Amino acid sequence: MHKFLLSLYLIFSLMPALLKAQDHQYDINKVDHNGLVANLYLPRVKGKVPAVIAFGGSEGGLGTGNANGEMIAPHGIAVLGLAYFKDKGIPQTLDQIPMEYFIDAINYLDTHPSIDSSKIGVVGGSRGSEAAFLLASLDLRIKSVVVTTPSKVAWNGLTMPKSAWTMDGKDIPALALGLDSNATLLNRFNAALDDEILVKKSLFKFENINGPILLISAENDQIWPSYQMAKDIELYLKNRQFQHKVVHNSYKTGHGFSQETAPRIKKSIINHFLSTL
């Protein structure tokens, strides 16, 4: 699983000058709150602003969160670029990450004098989609969700045969890869997803999410079946008469998307948050 492509990070780094609308200047402040490793990208505007919690996938660190800040903050939405592993003071590998850490990120925004705490969203990609879905289903303060190349279930960590995620000190139900290391990652993920009983246990409670969802998937994903999992999420929510809007945009690319699709993906993410927060 350590070979994951850095899909969300690649989207933001491929075309840094694509979106030229610099409506708002912003400040970047290092966050000092309860052990969070994060930067707050805060637009210079009067009054309170919406905020998005942004983080990456298996690449770890602050890179993807910071890239989100540079992309979204000029449009008048604050971004909390968050690292949850592979940085000083936090886990070094994507293993046994406590969801309380992400909830603390909401708590920080909830009490910040410049943030409208009724308008908080989250964006995550690839392995980060797991954290985004878990956070949004656990905490109703999340009012808008964007995920790229999403998973519909939680998975084990990168180096331990245990769930990547915990809550209240207990493992969140998660799947292990199927087959063995001789098989491709896609085949190993698909084999695990064939176990309907374990999938049901590890499936996120999407119906608990308190806001609209934008799914962005890759139709030729060579890492895991993000397109099919996004379709499954759509059907799951439709069958449960989900009250909020669900949009699924798919692209005929691999897991890391492409230079050609990056402009549309960036624009769709920004527009989603502008229209839902």
Asked, for residue 65, whether it belongs to a domain, the answer is yes
* Mean pLDDT for all residues in the chain: 94
Asked, for residue 189, whether it belongs to a domain, the answer is no
Q: Which amino acid belongs to residue 107?
A: N
What is the pLDDT confidence band of residue 5, given thresholds at 50, 70 and 90? very low
What is the total count of domains within the chain? 1
Give pLDDT, residue 3. Answer: 43
| Secondary structure of the chain as H, E, C letters | CCCCCCHHHHHHHHCCCCCCCCCCCEEEEECCCCCCEEEEEEECCCCCEEEEEEECCCCCCCHHHHHHHHHHHHHCCEEEEEECCCCCCCCCCCCCEEHHHHHHHHHHHHHCCCEEEEEEEEEEECHHHHHHHHHHHHCCCEEEEEEECCCCECEECCCCCCECEEECCEECCCECCCCCCCCCHHHHHHHHHCCHHHHHHHECCHHHCCCCEEEEEECCCCCCCHHHHHHHHHHHHHHCCCCCCEEEEEECCCCCCCCCCHHHHHHHHHHHHHHHC
Measure the CA–CA gap between 87 and 161, rounded to whole angstroms.
Answer: 22
Asked, for residue 59, whether it belongs to a domain, the answer is yes
Asked, for residue 196, whether it belongs to a domain, the answer is no
Q: Domain range holding 53?
A: 7-171+206-276
Asked, for residue 178, whether it belongs to a domain, the answer is no
- Global pTM? 0.94
Region 80-109: what's the mean pLDDT? Answer: 98
Give pLDDT, residue 215. Answer: 99
Asked, for residue 121, whether it belongs to a domain, the answer is yes
Q: How far is CA 269 from CA 8, 67, 112, 118, in A?
A: 11, 13, 24, 19
Give me the CATH number covering residue 84: 3.40.50.1820
Give pLDDT, residue 23. Answer: 85
Asked, for residue 166, whether it belongs to a domain, the answer is yes
Region 217-238: what's the mean pLDDT? Answer: 98
Give pLDDT, residue 22. Answer: 54
Asked, for residue 179, whether it belongs to a domain, the answer is no
Region 164-177: what's the mean pLDDT? Answer: 98
Angle, alpha carbons 244-148-39 (nearest 5°): 95
Give pLDDT, residue 17. Answer: 39
